[in-house]
A and B are shown apart, each in its own frame.
Chain A
Amino acid sequence: MTLPDTLPKCLVTGYQKYGDGHTALRKKDRGIWRSYSWEDSHKQVQNLTLGLIHLGLQRGDKVCIVGDNDPQYIWAQIAVQAGGGVAVGVFTDSTPPEIQFIVEHSDATFVFAKDQEQCDKLLEIKSQIPKVRGVIYWDDKGLWGYDDPWLISFDRVQELGQEQQAREPDRFDSEIALGKGTDVAIYCYTSGTMGVPKGAMISHANLLAGSDLAVAVDPRSEHHDYLSFLPPAWITENVLGLAIHLRTGMIVNFPEAPETVQENIREVAPYWLLFSARLWESMVALVQVKMTESTWINRLLYRWFMPVGYKVATLRYEQRTRIGLHWRILHALGEIAVFQPLRDKLGLTRVLSAYSSGAALNPDVVRFFRAIGVNIKQLYGSTEAQTHTLHIGDDVRFESVGVPPPGMEIRIAEDGEILVHGPSVFIGYYKLPEQTEHAIEIDENGKRWFRTGDAGYVSDDGHLIYLDRMKDMIALASGEKYSPQYIEGRLKFSPYIRDVMTIGGAEKGFVTALINIDFNSVGRWAERRGLSYTTFVDLSQKKEVYALIRQDVAGVNATLPPAARVRRFVLLHKEFDPDEAELTRTRKLKRGILSDRYQDMIAAMYGDEDEVRVRAAVKYRDGREGIIETTVRVETLVEEDLPK
């Protein structure tokens, strides 16, 4: 038997397989989790599809959906597709002009709008979107008094569908049978940091391929629970939620409200999670805050067992060695006392794979979750090609974004751009043939490669290293490019380095760095070695400290292509300080001011000197100004410094 090739066909197959006997979707409503069976889903979609057809939906029509994660969202989307239409997700926080843009650009004929808030936005732009024949809402709260016939309730559409069903009992099945895998299923409008949003056309085949790739890496079945909380207009939720649900029967749970997600995660304890790096970081912060407010016994257990967790995690994941018996016993105790309860609070008790996407995750955050028994993996992808790479199994590295899942291919173009090929690469941008042509490269074998616009390289063991957006890369005199953000980010992973600014650019032959040591951790390191020091200036210029930092720089260099390696660095005699306008309040570097203030050192690094005299004006906290006069050493790294 061949697998169904469209999402609506998957729904019918699931309905035939599970009928009324298995939960398909769950939604928390009025404080209670309510289940919907496959039969419920099938019935809802059937009535909606026929209702839409009754209202005039034609094959090939586009229908926008703007709403939160609800079963109704999924039903609406499958119903549109069953009727041969394309579903266009719109983010709920869009402003009326943003909605207007997408509705106009996609030529939508109907809009599903969840509630009063969204309906109000549409009413505001009603006169500008004459092609829209009706707006269908599924939460009637506050809409009782509206009498615009343009607004139609979800229930009303379903009634119309039932009437249609009585007239044409075979219509629903015949419409579904007309669908093909190559049909466009959804338009995903990319947020577009510059210029207007682009509508990426994604076919049923793309979505189902994305689902199959994900399931090949992390198997899922109808016994697994998933919590749908990523924006449903986003490609990720379409693939990892909807497509996998329809493909494997995985149960999709919907949170009660956007604000209750954290609580609902705990109740559902999903098997699979994807958070942004930021969210993982905020979870760690939350645990730390809650811990300080907890009872003394909890705090004591936390203080005892967290170091055990860290130790065992380091042995297991970083040193990859056998774990001694006494560590295993301690770890088992910690599991009962701290790790399991913590995972429970965070809703991570059943998680099989936890992913982070977006920015690179701080290793401290990764270490924290490893210590409590959750190995967070990186996932790198795009709207246009879905998952490019991810960490598979236990093969997790801080510096990489993983490897392509089986079936996907990664290639680095000559200019360093990451190209992706595979069954999930999209069809193109709607109504933008030029941009589509630019985004897709067809090689001599006829393979379609998506140009990601990201720079990266593949390490010797096949892991992809993501550097930066192509446009943020900086060229050296030789024309070779490097990413300042990436190098600085990696260097800051060292516990001994607090801030770094790399220097390079078209006039320079190589990369150098101004480094701020972390006074606390370097200070503690020095104390453990019996190394005496007086002030920050003194500590920063110790020979031993230079050797320590040199090791870390060499370690990072080893992961970088030769042109991007840091050849010389200085350890600054003082910390970068927001009060002196060297950093923003959020601790971002002010590069212009820094290059100007430390020009002597920069000149020294690109000259022959091994040290440089500095006289720097400093402002003390009490407002006084003083002058620090000292000698700062310049350290040079050579190829032999690379660890073998």
Chain B
Amino acid sequence: MNPKDTQLSVRNVNLSFGGTQALVNLGFDVRQGEILAIIGPNGAGKTSLLNCLNRFYKVESGSIQFEGYDLTKIAPHRIAGLGIARTFQNIALYTGLSTLDNLMAARHIHMHSGLLQSLIYWGFAHREDISHRMVVEEIIDFLEMEHIRRSIVGSLPYGLRKRVELGRALAMEPRLLLLDEPMTGMNLEEKEDMARFILDLHERQKTTILLIEHDMGLVMDIADRVVVLDFGVKIAEGSPQEIREDQQVIKAYLGEAR
């Protein structure tokens, strides 16, 4: 697939909870290899949108096309297999396992040995384990997690847990990475580290990244394009520069200009 080709296309998506319209006729494209940020005030429908993308929620109408598949018609458990991985706003990891085990667990979608082979753990299963470990070790190196490789995730500070979660998403070797507020609750240094990882990832692996983030400064620094939501409606789409100057965005998100 060529860069600039559309990888994910969201068309006329509607979602409501009871009487509340969470997403209204939402439509936008995500291009191959770009970093697209979705911003908007609290309750704008950002997380709901991600939940629709990986089928935690079922859209009421509209279509979501990913590399030729209609995600609205695919079972939730198959989404990861298509090459879409995500991280969560409130970290969802196996807290009792080590960093290494969390990452290895994410490799399951790429594992092929059967139960019996795994039990005997010889020949194919053994070799397969080694090859997965190599992928995981590359990620540990990439995200600078050597010192927490054997640490139990539950005992790690918040910023590091966020990093492990990103690592787990990467272990699936996704073509589209959905990041739900990867930098909330972090201090400045941790945010800068995370921004660096996202940029390196984008540059090195050409992974498409769809990012939800509150920190406007950071979003404007790293995103190629920005989509702005307000009460489930897309009110703007464009480059960070265009968004910064958009009167409607300033009004909705940054507050009324005085």
B200 lies within 8 A of A260 (CB)? no
Q: How large is the interface on A (under 10, 10 to 19, 20 to 34, 35 or more residues)?
A: 10 to 19
Complex formed: what's the CA distance from A259 to B137 in Å? 16
Classify chain B's interface size: 10 to 19
Question: Which of B15-23, B60-68, B78-86, B138-146 forms contacts with chain A?
Answer: B138-146
The reply to whether A259 and B147 form a contact with Cβ atoms under 8 Å apart is yes
Instruction: State the CA gap A334–B150 with chains docked (Å).
Output: 29
Q: Which residues of B contact A628 (CB under 8 A)?
A: none
Contact, CB under 8 Å: B138 / A142? no
Q: Is A324 an interface residue (CB 8 A)?
A: no
Q: Indicate whether B4 reaches chain A with its CB closer than 8 angstroms.
A: no
Interface centre among B133, B144, B146 (most CB of A within 10 A): B146
Task: Give A362 Cβ to nearest chain B Cβ, in Å.
Answer: 28
- Per-residue CB proximity of B160-200 to A under 8 Å, as 1/0? 00000000000000000000000000000000000010001
Min distance, Cβ A562 to any Cβ of chain B, angstroms: 52
Mark contacts of A122-156 with chain B using CB atoms, 8 A cut-off: 1 yes-contact digit, 0 otherwise.
Answer: 00000000000000000001101100000000000
Chain B residues near A30: list those with CB within 8 A. 134, 137-138, 140-141
Q: Which residues of B contact A28 (CB under 8 A)?
A: 146
User: Contacts A30-B137, A142-B196, A142-B200 known; A260 to B142 CB distance under 8 Å?
Assistant: no
B204 near A31 with CB under 8 A, answer no
> Are the CB atoms of B137 and A141 closer together than 8 Å?
no
Q: Considering the chains assembled together, what is the distance between the CA atoms of A29 and B146 in angstroms?
A: 9
- Shortest distance from the beta carbon of A229 to any chain B beta carbon, whole Å: 13
What's the Cα separation between A331 and B233 when bound, in Å?
A: 75
State the Cβ distance, A92 to closest chain B Cβ, in Å. Answer: 14
* In the assembled complex, A61 has its CB within 8 A of some CB on chain B: no
B246 part of interface (Cβ distance < 8 Å): no
How far, in whole Å, are A263 and B144 apart by their CA atoms in the complex?
Answer: 15
> Which chain B residue shows the least CB distance to A260?
B147
**C-alpha gap A29/B141 in the complex (Å):** 8
One digit per residue, 1 when the CB lies within 8 angstroms of any chain B CB and 0 when it does not, for chain A 145-171 equals: 100000000000000000000000000
Instruction: Indicate if A256 sits at the interface (CB-CB under 8 A).
Output: yes
B146 contacts A257, CB within 8 Å? yes
How far is it, in angstroms, between the C-alpha of A259 and the C-alpha of B140 when the chains are bound? 13
Within 220-279 of A, Cβ neighbours of B (below 8 Å) are at 256-257, 259-260, 263
Q: Which residues of B contact A144 (CB under 8 A)?
A: 203-204
Contact A259 B146 (CB under 8 A): yes
- Chain A residue nearest to B138 in the complex (CB): A30
Query: Do A141 and B200 touch across chains, with their CB atoms under 8 A apart?
Result: yes
- Chain B nearest CB from A391 CB (Å) reads 32
A263 B147 Cβ-Cβ under 8 A = yes
What's the Cα separation between A142 and B198 when bound, in Å? 11
Min CB–CB distance A482 → chain B (angstroms): 45
Contact with B along A8-32 (1 / 0, CB 8 A): 0000000000000000000011110
Are B149 and A31 touching (Cβ within 8 A)? yes
* Chain A residues closer than 8 Å to B203, beta-carbon distance: 144-145
Interface string of B183-225 (1 = CB under 8 A from A): 0000000000000100010011000000000000000000000
A260 x B146 contact (CB < 8 A): yes
Point out the residues of chain A lying under 8 angstroms from B133, CB to CB: 31
A259 to B138 alpha-carbon distance, docked (Å): 17
In the complex, chain B residues whose CB is within 8 Å of the CB of A260: 146-147
Report A297-346 residues with CB < 8 Å from chain B CB. Answer: none
Complex Cα–Cα for A30 and B204 (A)? 18
Chain B residues within 8 Å of A257, by CB: 144, 146-147
Contacts of A259 in B (CB 8 A): 146-147
User: Bound state CA distance, A259 and B146, in angstroms?
Assistant: 8
Q: In the complex, what distance in Å separates the CA atom of A640 from the CA atom of B158?
A: 63
Query: What are the residues of chain A within 8 A of B138 when measuring CB–CB?
Result: 30
Q: With the chains together, A142 CA to B141 CA distance in Å?
A: 12
Q: Which of B133, B137, B141, B196 gathers most chain A CB within 10 Å? A: B141
Which of these, A29, A141, A256, contacts B142 with CB under 8 Å? A141
Which residues A482-536 have CB closer than 8 A to chain B? none
Residues of B within 8 A of A145 (CB): 203
Q: Using an 8 Å CB-CB cutoff, how does the interface string of B117-148 with A read, 1 for contact, 0 for none? A: 00000000000000001100110111010110
Closest approach, in angstroms, between the C-beta of B198 and any C-beta of chain A? 12
Once bound together, how far apart are the Cα atoms of A257 and B140, in whole Å? 12
B77-119 interface mask toward A, CB cutoff 8 Å, 1 = contact, 0 = none?
0000000000000000000000000000000000000000000
Closest to B134 in A: A30
* Smallest Cβ-Cβ distance to A263: which chain B residue: B147
Chain A positions within 8 Å of B134 at CB level:
30
Query: Within the complex, what minimum Cβ distance (angstroms) separates B209 from chain A?
Result: 16
Interface string of A397-409 (1 = CB under 8 A from B): 0000000000000
The answer for the CA separation of A259 and B147 in the assembled complex, in Å, is 6
Known: A30-B134, A30-B138. A256 touches B200 (CB 8 A): no
Contact residues in B for A29 (Cβ distance below 8 Å):
141
Are A31 and B144 in contact, with the CB atoms below 8 A? no
A30–B138 CA distance with the chains assembled, in angstroms: 7
CA distance A257 to B144 in the complex (A): 8
* Contact yes or no, B200 A31, CB < 8 A: no
**Complex interface: chain A residues within 8 A of B150 (CB):** 263
* Shortest Cβ distance from A142 into B: residue: B200
Given contacts A30-B137, A256-B147, list 8 more A-B pairs with CB under 8 A. A30-B140, A30-B141, A31-B133, A31-B146, A31-B149, A145-B203, A256-B146, A260-B146
26 A–B contacts from the bound complex (CB under 8 Å): A28-B146, A30-B137, A30-B140, A30-B141, A31-B133, A31-B137, A31-B140, A31-B146, A31-B149, A141-B141, A141-B142, A142-B196, A142-B200, A144-B204, A145-B203, A256-B146, A256-B147, A257-B144, A257-B146, A257-B147, A259-B146, A259-B147, A260-B146, A260-B147, A263-B147, A263-B150
Q: Which 6 A-B pairs have the closest CB atoms?
A: A259-B147, A30-B137, A257-B146, A256-B146, A260-B147, A31-B137
